[in-house]
Each structure stands twice: as structure tokens, then as C-alpha cells.
Amino acid sequence: MEQSILIFWIAVYGFIWILRRNPKNVVSRAAFAWIGPRPIVSETWASFQLRWASYSFGWLCQFAVALSALLVVASYFPSAGEEAWFRVALFALPLGVGVAALAMLGFLVKAGKAHWLGPNPTCPESPSIKNAA
């Protein structure tokens, strides 16, 4: 058992190493792409975390709308509940709702902590932020 875990992690690290050695590859760009809001120069940490919470809330709303649409389909077509795609979606969408809700709450807690308890640094001007925009 331990050997298979070790082999798995060696394969993961090897795959990441290969991706980092080929940054122009489509798979590499997708794997290392920034997802979410970027920091703005002179923005405080608390406001950046609030923007992340807003981003997570957007995902929460999208998952909730998709789950609601799935339940409406189930109410109009009761036989859809026996389909595999329906069961997979009914399993995955509540997980997405939960993850998005936890992310939103976590970012809100981080923003509140930085705002009221500190530290609340501002984002410095850096070449990586200027090139990302």
C-alpha cells in the first residue's frame, strides 16, 4: 500500500515538473492559470479578500441556480431521477454549493480578521501584477 502511494506522488511531482518545464503547452497554461480576482496595486488585504468572497458568492449563486433547475426538471419529469446523468448532477451540485459557501465564508472571515485585527497590508506594485493585467 505504501509503495503505491509513493509511486503516485512521484508521478504527480514528475507530471508537475514536466508541466513547469513546458510553460507554453496548452495543458501547462490551463494547469497554472490564475482563476479569480487579481490583486490591485495599493489595495488592502481586507478588500482583496472581500473581492474573493464576492467571487465565491457568484459561484455559489451559479451552483444554486443549476441545482434549482435540476430540481425543476425532476418535478416535471419524475422519470429523470432514474437517469445516471441526473444522479451524478444531484450528487455534484450540492458539493459545489457547499464548497462555494465555505470559500465565501472563509474569505469573509479572513477579510474581517485583516480589517479589525490586522495586519492589513497593501498590495505593492510588482512586475507580475502589471504583466497579469
- In tens, the pLDDT along 88-118 reads 999 999 999 999 999 999 999 999 999 999 8
pLDDT for res 34: 86
All structural domains of the chain with their residue ranges: 1-33, 42-120
Per-residue pLDDT band at 49 (split at 50, 70, 90): very high
Of 36-40, 44-48, 102-106, the one with minimum mean pLDDT is 36-40
Question: Model-level pTM?
Answer: 0.76
- In tens, the pLDDT along 59-73 reads 999 999 999 999 999
Q: Phi and psi (nearest 5°) for 122? A: -100, 155
As a whole number of Å, the CA-based R_g of the chain is 21
Is the alpha carbon torsion for 114, 115, 119, 120 positive or negative?
positive
pLDDT for res 19: 93
